[in-house]
Amino acid sequence: MDYNQVKLLQEIMEVGFALIETNLYLDTHPTDERALMLHNTHSRKYNDLYNRYSSKYGPLTYTGMSRCPWEYIQGPWPWEIEYEKCHWD
Amino acid sequence: MDNKMCPNDEYDIDSRHYKLAHAYIPYQNMCKIYDLKEALCKGTLFPELYMPYKKYDRRKKY
């Protein structure tokens, strides 16, 4: 898998995780405007990354569109991808 | 039994009512957040919630 594809996937995971966190926080703090702004920023970023990924490498999930032949089964599956290691303890 | 000496069953801390045998969770206020790479590695966006299980060092009090 080429380096840029892995980098993009990594970024999608990072932004996606941040969205989960702001979602959970907003569930109990619905009026926290700073958290809401943060969430919306990440949401825009996520959509942008998602579109950039799928236009270049095909659908990220089964719901995405694909060129012919069906691109969803091309390339390695998520568990086969070597991501950069975490260096926090 | 003369219970003038005994406190009533409610306890007041920082002008808040606390009842015995009740659990209380302090309210989180978002302040600082990790950058996204660090957040994904640490499993939380919020430094105040990062508490990995470490081997307990008897001498040091956490």
Distances (CA, A) of A38 to A4, A31, B5, B42: 26, 13, 53, 19
Query: Which of A7, A9, A17, A37 to mutate to probe the B interface, most B CBs <10 Å?
Result: A17
Task: Give B2-59 pLDDT, tens digit per residue.
Answer: 666 776 666 888 888 888 889 999 999 999 999 999 999 999 999 999 999 888 766 6
Instruction: Please report the pLDDT score of residue A69 as a whole number.
Output: 96
The per-residue pLDDT for A47 is 97
Element (H, E) at A49: helix A33-57
Nearest to A88 among B28, B30, B41 (CB): B41
Q: What is the pTM of this model?
A: 0.82
As a whole number, the mean pLDDT across chain A is 95
Which ipTM value was assigned to this complex? 0.88
Domain map (residue ranges) of chain A:
3-59+66-82
* Secondary structure of residue A17 in the 3-state scheme: helix
pLDDT digits (tens, 9 = 90+) for A37-70: 999 999 999 999 999 999 999 999 999 999 999 9
Residues of A within 8 A of B30 (CB-CB) are 25, 29, 32, 34-35
Query: What's the average model confidence in pLDDT over A24-45?
Result: 98
| Mean pLDDT, range A28-32, rounded to an integer | 97
Report helix, strand and coil shares of chain A as percent, to nearest 5: 65, 0, 35
pLDDT digits (tens, 9 = 90+) for A7-22: 999 999 999 999 999 9
